[in-house]
């Protein structure tokens, strides 16, 4: 069942323990650190689960949004039962992590 978040609601908080992966059905979400806007159809929250760490980024609803929420156990079961999905999600998570690191390096260079 879809979950609704109102505009300007923090959906995921940096520093928190990852407990879910979210699929954006409707609306727009922003990655606060990079200002990247996620359109409908985006999945987010998976990178920190894949890399087994606390959340590094916060996500903010920039409009009213509807999401599907997959609890960590369900997400991990999907990855275990469907190797092709696991491989694709791992590839995407790795690419996103590289982009995050490049953005952080670029941002810190502009501050000096």
Print the domain residue range for 22.
Answer: 3-111
Decide if 79 contacts 89 (C-beta within 8 A).
yes
Count: domains in the chain: 1
Take residue 4 and report the two structure tokens written for it: 């609704």
Radius of gyration of the chain (CA): 14
CATH of the domain at 69: 2.60.120.10
pTM of the model: 0.82
Structural element, H or E, at residue 70: strand 65-71
Q: What is the pLDDT of residues 38-95, one digit of tens each?
A: 999 999 999 999 999 999 999 999 999 999 999 999 999 999 999 999 999 899 889 9
Q: Could you tell me where the DSSP H helices lie in 1-111?
A: 46-50, 72-81, 83-111
């Amino acid at each position: 069942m879809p979950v609704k978040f109102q505009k300007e609601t923090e959906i995921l908080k940096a520093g928190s323990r990852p407990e879910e992966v979210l699929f954006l059905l409707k609306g727009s979400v922003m990655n606060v650190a990079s200002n990247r806007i996620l359109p409908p159809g985006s999945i987010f929250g998976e990178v920190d689960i894949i890399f087994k760490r606390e959340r590094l980024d916060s996500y903010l609803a920039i409009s009213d949004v509807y999401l599907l929420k997959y609890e960590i156990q369900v997400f991990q079961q999907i990855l275990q039962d469907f190797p092709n999905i696991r491989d694709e999600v791992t590839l995407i998570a790795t690419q996103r992590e590289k982009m995050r690191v490049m953005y952080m390096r670029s941002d810190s260079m502009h501050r000096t």
